[in-house]
Amino acid sequence: NAGVTQTPKFQVLKTGQSMTLQCAQDMNHEYMSWYRQDPGMGLRLIHYSVGAGITDQGEVPNGYNVSRSTTEDFPLRLLSAAPSQTSVYFCASSRGQFAGYEQYFGPGTRLTVT
Amino acid sequence: SQQGEEDPQALSIQEGENATMNCSYKTSINNLQWYRQNSGRGLVHLILIRSNEREKHSGRLRVTLDTSKKSSSLLITASRAADTASYFCATGSDRGSTLGRLYFGRGTQLTVWP
């Protein structure tokens, strides 16, 4: 099992550009989520999904879109990149409701917006 | 904020010593989890403790939970250089609109010197 994979590992964007961060898991997990990690801030939840076709907003959803057309994939779209979105982004999955189950994290995508 | 707060922010010890990290939180929870993050990597789940449990062990790890004091501690016994990492607590919300979400603290950076 590859677990949770994320691409790309690194990305540099100019302000106003858009891009999609990819996340895939091969564990047949229903629950998936996106977090951002900023220095001194811990991880903050951006969006999450409890199954294919079902998504919802987390703590910091502005500027990001998600969709979940399959169980395996949960891409995160930056609509118009801003320097404030410079961060490390982690995708995670679990077999049940987040708080009650172990979260499996991907290796992260380090994004810089200039 | 529903975020947990780890203490201390940084801890430096010698190999063989024990390391204790604390997590305090403000709202009621249903579960609490601890994660480890090696530099430049994703988070790895260590242990989950439910609100009706007081103590849990896993190998060299011991986690306690005191819901009356809204605090948890992670003890790593006989530390090794390989334990050098950041450690995060994540509290599971039991509140209606955020039920089941995980809230991560800012982490404790543990350095174990050979």
Question: What does the pLDDT look like over B30-79, one tens digit per residue?
Answer: 899 999 999 999 999 999 999 999 999 999 999 999 999 999 999 999 99
A46-54 — which CB contacts under 8 Å span 24+ positions? A46/A76, A46/A89, A47/A76, A48/A98, A48/B101, A49/A74, A50/A97
Total length of chain A:
114
**Which residue did the predictor score with more confidence, B73 or B97?**
B73
Residue with tokens 């172990």: A102
Mean of the per-residue pLDDT values of chain A:
94
Specify whether the CB–CB gap between A61 and A77 falls below 8 A.
no
Q: Which of B34, B32, B53, B56 is nearest to B45 (CA)?
A: B34
Q: Which residues of A touch B103 (CB under 8 A)?
A: 45
Distance in angstroms (rounded) separating the CA atoms of residues A102 and A45: 16
Relative to beta strand A31-38, strand A87-94 is antiparallel
* Beta-carbon separation of B104 and A35 below 8 A: yes
Tokens of A1: 């099992």
Cβ-based contacts of B41 with chain A (< 8 Å): 107-108
Among A36-45, A90-99, B12-21, the range of highest mean pLDDT: B12-21
Which residues on chain A are in Cβ contact (under 8 Å) with B30?
Answer: 99-100
DSSP codes, A9-46: SEEEE-TT--EEEEEEESS--SEEEEEEEETTTEEEEE
Please indicate whether, in this complex, the C-beta atoms of A42 and B42 are within 8 angstroms of each other: no
> B35 in contact with A at a CB cutoff of 8 Å?
yes
* Mean pLDDT on A1-7: 92
C-beta separation of B22 from B66 below 8 A: no
* pLDDT at res. A70: 97
Nearest CA in chain B to A102: B45
- Chain B nearest-CA distance from A18, in A, is 24
